[in-house]
Structure 1
Amino acid sequence: MWAGKSKWSQDTEPMGEINVTPLVDVMLVLLIIFMITAPLLTQGVNVDLPETESSALQQNIEPLVISIRANGEIFMQKHAIKIEQLAPRIQAMQKQKPGIPVFIRGDAKTPYGRIASVMSSLETAGIKKVGLVTEPRR
């Protein structure tokens, strides 16, 4: 058994400062995680959006995003949908969330007729205002 003197003598007091190094380490790891996952949170499917010189809209409500690929495939959020199913689904969503904003993300190479038919289906469903999503000019 050790009977020596403790390193804490009567003259010294324990240090009263907080070591912030572990806190900084955790915060840096969280920052890196958020930087990596933030680009993955885009809504809809990947489409090559046309570039325009317009400013971004500021909204508090999460919009309904309809994406149209260059080959004509239509997606509601991230789920594939046929054009015939679009109006009934939109009407059902309007009953749950009236006034939900609707945005169309059309690929730059999508034929205009396909976008016009989607917009016609939206008007049939009772949507009067539709936003077209574009990329800012680089």
Structure 2
Amino acid sequence: MGLGTLGAGGAGRPTSEINIIPLVDVMLVLLVVFIVTAPLLTHAVKLELPQASSRPNVSKAERIEIVVQKEGQLHWNGVPITRTELEQRADQLAARAPDTEVHLKGDEAVPYGDMARTLSALARHGLTRVGFVTQPAMSP
């Protein structure tokens, strides 16, 4: 619906305006519909569910610590061992519990070859969960 402007310059010229009354009517109808239907959406069915008591079955895997010193000396959980004993223990451990975590510690001065031989012996016997343990660097 166009309305004329008042004044001498714009006599008889229509202006366009948005009529918001129908928009408000529609919004009020939608508001009433939502107010009426909202309580119906929260209707719940009453059920008596069975009770069960259970605890999670969390068994911590065994953890082995192998230390390689710069002189080539090996330690299995603090006990000095030889390379052949390492092979035997790794074989027994893999047969008993292959998911055992192995923490491999090495001195800074250990040659790379010694660490690689130790890691290879563990992997050859099926112990694949091997982690290298390091000392975090001190920040200045």
TM bin, normalised by shorter chain, reads 0.5 to 0.7
Q: Which residue of 2 aligns with 1:89?
A: 89
Where does structure 2 lack aligned partners over 5 or more consecutive residues? 1-59
Alpha-carbon distance in structure 2 between the residues aligned to 1:62 and 1:88: 17
Alpha-carbon distance in structure 2 between the residues aligned to 1:114 and 1:98: 23
Greater relative CO, 1 or 2 (CA 8 Å, sep 6+): 1
Q: Which runs of 4+ in 1 moved over 6 A?
A: none
Q: Which residue of 1 aligns with 2:106?
A: 106
* CA contact 2:63–2:100 (8 Å) conserved in 1: yes
After superposition, where does 1:114-129 map in structure 2 within 5 Å?
A: 114-129=114-129
Could you tell me the TM-score, scaled by structure 1's length?
Answer: 0.52
Alpha-carbon distance in structure 2 between the residues aligned to 1:69 and 1:94: 24
After superposition, where does 1:3-22 map in structure 2 within 5 Å?
A: none
Alpha-carbon distance in structure 1 between the residues aligned to 2:135 and 2:61: 20
Matched to 2:105, the amino acid is R
Q: Which residue of 1 aligns with 2:66?
A: 66
Alpha-carbon distance in structure 1 between the residues aligned to 2:90 and 2:80: 14
Where does structure 1 lack aligned partners over 5 or more consecutive residues? 1-59
Could you tell me the TM-score, scaled by structure 2's length?
Answer: 0.52
Structure 1 residues 129 and 62, CA gap change in structure 2 (3 angstroms)? closer
Structural RMSD (CA) = 1.5
Matched to 1:116, the amino acid is A
Matched to 1:108, the amino acid is E
* CA contact 1:88–1:125 (8 Å) conserved in 2: no
Alpha-carbon distance in structure 2 between the residues aligned to 1:101 and 1:92: 14
Alpha-carbon distance in structure 2 between the residues aligned to 1:95 and 1:128: 13
Shift of 1:64: 0.5
Alpha-carbon distance in structure 2 between the residues aligned to 1:96 and 1:125: 12
Q: Please list the CA deviations of residues 78-98 of structure 1 after superposition, one character each: whole Å capped at 9, or x if unmatched.
A: 111111221221121233333
Q: Please list the CA deviations of residues 47-91 of structure 1 after superposition, one character each: whole Å capped at 9, or x if unmatched.
A: xxxxxxxxxxxxx54520100111110111111111122122112
Bigger drift between 68-77 and 82-91 goes to 82-91
Percent of paired sites with the same residue: 28
Shift of 1:128: 1.8
Q: Which of these two proteins has the greater Rg computed from alpha carbons? A: 2
How many positions carry a matched residue from both structures? 79
Q: Please list the CA deviations of residues 7-32 of structure 1 after superposition, one character each: whole Å capped at 9, or x if unmatched.
A: xxxxxxxxxxxxxxxxxxxxxxxxxx
